[in-house]
Amino acid sequence: MIRAGGIESDAVVVGAGPAGAAFALNLAPLHRVLVLDRRDGPAVRIGESLAPAARRLLTDMGLWDAFLAEGHSPCHGGRSVWGGPLPVEADTLRDLDGPGWHLDRGRFDGWLRRVAASRGAALLAPAQPLAITRDREGWLLKVETAGRRIPVRTRLLVDAGGRGSPLAKRFGARRTVSDRLVCGWVHGRDADGRQSGLTWIEAEPDGWWYSAPLPAGRRVVAFHTDADLPAAADARDAVSLLRRLSGCSDLFRSLTACGFEPEGQGGFCAAHSSTLSSASGDGWLAVGDAALGFDPLSSQGIFNALYTGLAAAEAADRHLSGDPGALPGYAAGLAPIRDAYRTHLHAWYGLERRWPDRPFWSRRFKVPSPVPGEGGDPRRERGEGEG
């Protein structure tokens, strides 16, 4: 892959989150793959839930047993206060795929990177492309890494840069944002060490709360609201977020009972729904949040990252083997996923009718429509990428 004049590869992936790593680990046994990431290791993330159906994807990738060995916490169901004042529980006992999983995101992301490397992918981090040009042979990049600028030639570019879609925008793709959802979160520990394995979701007048146990006795507590609402100020500040939590009666009582103790400063990130005008073009494609950004309420973000990473790798293999319809076919296959997601998300938000006059909820009673522009993107403050 490395030549005197720089690096030659068949595919360059910009972004080493779950989608980029999933793409790389599936394509690397067949073609030369280079992964670029602006960080030298996984970023601190909120912590995610992985849907039970992810078992099928991980099995297809040959990763299921290795995933189990990583020791993430099983998710046996959820408790919600949504659409009414009483908690309702649902479990995964009847799910043929078994339980879902509460992930230690840093460990999960790092594991996927290591698997990609073990299958032959090369990783440059920290690194970022400074210039990209197109010619008859493919793409030529100037990549900055370790104080050097290295020329990289490739036949295919993969945008795995999260909701910002850094590559796709350069190539003229248009991103449509459906809402202004943001998320503020804090990590902590349950002092008594007892964890139920259940997620908790609770609606409130200006948004909704999420809490879940994480591996090693840790827990995440998160508040979701719209970026332009006054409540967003509480989401941005950990102290204000915890103060607001005390007014969220059911969740607050539950966390008090398990002795939740917050740790660290927390975080703040974009959480809106969004879609790219096309997830592929001439010699490039997008995966994960760069292609489809999911509301955390759907619990589909990491599943989508794994799925698009696998599907894109299969399309990339066909494209690099001379199939002109491979990349457009990949993009077309994401359209029904986008449409089903929008329908289900609208239905789920529609169940909560207790505050019809509050802006957060009245916006969601309507059929979603694009939000003009992309101003106020909190990733510009926190450096958040793929979720």
- 172-222 residue pLDDT tens: 899 999 999 999 999 998 876 565 678 899 999 999 999 988 888 888 999
Burial tier of 57 (Cβ tally within 10 Å: 0-12, 13-18, 19+):
buried
| Mean of per-residue pLDDT scores for the chain | 89
SS3 271: coil
Dihedral pair phi/psi, residue 22, rounded to 5° = -65, -40
Helix axes 301-320, 18-27, angle to 10 degrees: 30
- 39 versus 139: the higher-pLDDT residue is 139
pLDDT at 355: 96
SS3 89: strand
- pLDDT of 109 > 70? The answer is yes
pLDDT at 379: 29
pLDDT band at 77 (very low <50, low <70, confident <90, very high): confident
DSSP letter for 220, please: E
pLDDT at 147: 87
Query: Does residue 171 contact residue 129 with C-beta atoms inside 8 Å?
Result: no
Q: Percentage of the chain with pLDDT > 90?
A: 68
- 19 versus 164: the higher-pLDDT residue is 19
Which amino acid is residue 290, in one-letter code? A
pLDDT band at 3 (very low <50, low <70, confident <90, very high): low
- 372 versus 244: the higher-pLDDT residue is 244
Query: Does residue 160 contact residue 287 with C-beta atoms inside 8 Å?
Result: yes
| Sign of the CA dihedral running 187, 65, 15, 275 | negative
Least trusted range by pLDDT, from 82-91, 192-201, 256-265, 359-368? 192-201
Find tokens 């007014």 and name the residue: 247
pLDDT at 254: 85
Which amino acid is residue 236, in one-letter code? R
Helices and strands in the chain: count of H runs, count of E runs: 12, 24
Burial tier of 5 (Cβ tally within 10 Å: 0-12, 13-18, 19+):
exposed
State how far the Cα of 160 lies from the Cα of 124, in Å rounded to an integer: 14
Helix/strand/coil (H, E, C) string of 40-83? CCCCCCCCCEECCCHHHHHHHCCCHHHHHHCCCEEECEEEEECC
pLDDT at 192: 67
Apex 43 CA angle, 185 and 237, nearest 5: 25
Least trusted range by pLDDT, from 59-68, 296-305, 367-376? 367-376
Average pLDDT over residues 282-286: 96
pLDDT at 196: 65
Please list the alpha-helical segments (H only) found in 160-275.
Answer: 166-170, 232-236, 238-245, 249-257
- Sorted by where each starts, the structural domains of the chain and their CATH numbers stand as 2-72+104-178+273-336 (3.50.50.60), 181-270 (3.30.9.100)
Average pLDDT over residues 103-117: 93
Average pLDDT over residues 93-99: 84
- pLDDT of 121 > 60? The answer is yes
Separation in Å, CA 195 to CA 81, 85, 217, 361: 19, 23, 7, 31
Provide the whole-model pTM. 0.90
| Predicted confidence (pLDDT) per residue in 13-37, tens digit | 999 999 999 999 999 999 999 999 9
Query: Does residue 62 contact residue 119 with C-beta atoms inside 8 Å?
Result: no
SS3 297: helix
